[in-house]
Structure 1
Amino acid sequence: MATASKNAAIAELTESFRTSGAAVLTEYRGLTVKQLTQLRSSLREHATYAVVKNTLTQRAATEAGVTAFDEQLTGPSAIAFVSGDPVEAAKTLRDFAKANPLLVIKGGVLDGKPLTAADITKLADLESREVLLAKLAGAMNASLSKAVYLFAAPLSQTARVVAALRDKVDAEGPQDTAAPQDAAPQDAESQDSAPQDVAEGGDN
């Protein structure tokens, strides 16, 4: 590869490392072009998947301040640069690797922190951002529903409830002088096209 082309490839990889929230290093030895295309398509919403040259990638990672791939850039390498949900990207890679054992997840980096292959599997086991937000919204709606109902109730209805409670107290007579403790409220708990490869295959 000519020097100009190498420099351009390094610059592109460096930018990918710097602008991606996460990156996952894989070895794809033995996978067919069809399988790689399928993987790219599956990742498209959350990441770009590029076959890279190891020496150029190491230089780019160094320039970007990424050390997670030190000593791991061997064999035919490809990297998923994650710009979307890292959990969904990890799930896609994990599921593809289960169906196609020739894909080996070697490690990664998330928000500048190194990840092992085991870490990426744990990440894949988490619920997606969309699911967590939906659960949080549901919890908030559940805990606020009673308050919303009281605010929306007609004034006459509230007055009748207060009057009924007052009549009940008068009928039962004086109670123990100790002030009862309020019960704690029960809140609901919870809370595009395929990327171009930087370089085909491993180092020559």
Structure 2
Amino acid sequence: MKEATLQAKSQVVEEIKEKISNSQSIVLVDYRGLNVEQLTKLRSEYRKAGVDYKVYKNSMMRFAFKDSGLEGFNEYLKGPNAIAFGIDDPVAAAKITAEFAKDNDKLEIKAGIVDGKIIDVAGVKDLAELPPREVLIAQALGGLNAPIQGFANVLQGTIRGLAIVLNQIAEKQQTA
């Protein structure tokens, strides 16, 4: 019996480690005080955004974070915790959590991880303020496109100015 229990715990730790390595971001929350309806709504929001939300035993998470080289994260693993793994979008888990916490003060953001760096509550909230990935890409492309557009406008203005000057010269010659 003891061997089976040890094997089951080992599998849970491996599952957590895999999720840590596959995640672009992680957000740790204290969910105490949320009712079933609120938790269902939160889980639904996470699911829509491709965020994996789970409740694990702190002891299992401690082993997984230590094995993943993130043992500094273990200081946040006190009390009941749930963890949101942002698989596809590094901002989604933080954004959904922060938005939900605004309306539900019982949900407490504890910490997060982005790009292998542990961030505090303020860092998670800052991450939540970032626009979605698509908007950031559009802004970057817009920034790259702006000099080209400016150059085209300058050329167009020069050609327009030349046309006006030539038109004025033609009008002067017609009147003379």
The TM-score with structure 2 as length reference comes to 0.78
- Structure 1 segment 70-85 matched on structure 2, within 5 A: 70-85=74-89
Of 66, 91, 95 in structure 2, the residue corresponding to residue 91 of structure 1 is 95
Residues of 1 paired with 2:23 and 2:154: CA distance? 47
Match of 1:131 in 2: 135
| Contact residue 25 and residue 69 of structure 1 kept, 8 A | no
Match of 2:46 among 43, 46, 56: 43
String of CA shifts for 1:7-59, please: whole Å, max 9, x gaps. Answer: 11111001111111111111111222332221122122242110110001100
Partner in structure 2 of residue 22 of structure 1: 25
Q: Specify the SS of the correspondent of 1:52.
A: coil
Change (3 A) 1:27 1:146: closer
SS for the counterpart of 1:5 is: helix
Q: Distance in 2 between matches of 1:138 and 1:14?
A: 38
Relative contact order: is structure 1 or structure 2 higher (C-alpha 8 Å, sep ≥ 6)? 1
What fraction of aligned residue pairs are identical, expressed as a percent?
40
Q: TM-score, normalised by structure 1?
A: 0.68
Q: 1:150 to 1:100 in 2, by over 3 A?
A: closer
Matched, 1:105 2:100: no
Q: Quick one: distance in 1 between partners of 2:124 and 2:27?
A: 8
1:68–1:115: 8 Å Cα contact kept in structure 2? no
1:57 aligns with 2:48: no
**Secondary structure, counterpart of 2:15 in structure 1:** helix
Distance in 2, matches of 1:59 and 1:83, equals: 21
Cα offset, 1:148, TM superposition: 5.0
Of residues 76-85 and 130-139 in structure 1, the stretch that sits farther from structure 2 once superposed is: 130-139
Give the total of aligned pairs.
161
After superposition, the C-alpha distances for 1:41-89 in whole angstroms (9 at most, x for unaligned) are: 2122242110110001100111111124222212111101111222232
Distance in 1 of aligned mates of 2:122 and 2:41: 24
Secondary structure at the aligned position of 2:138 is classed as: helix
Amino acid at match of 1:87: V
Choose 1 or 2 for highest CA Rg: 1
Could you say what secondary structure the match of 2:32 adopts?
Answer: coil
1:2–1:8 Cα change, 3 Å = same
Pairwise CA RMSD: 2.8
Structure 1 counterpart of 2:13: 10
Structure-2 separation of matches of 1:23 and 1:87: 10
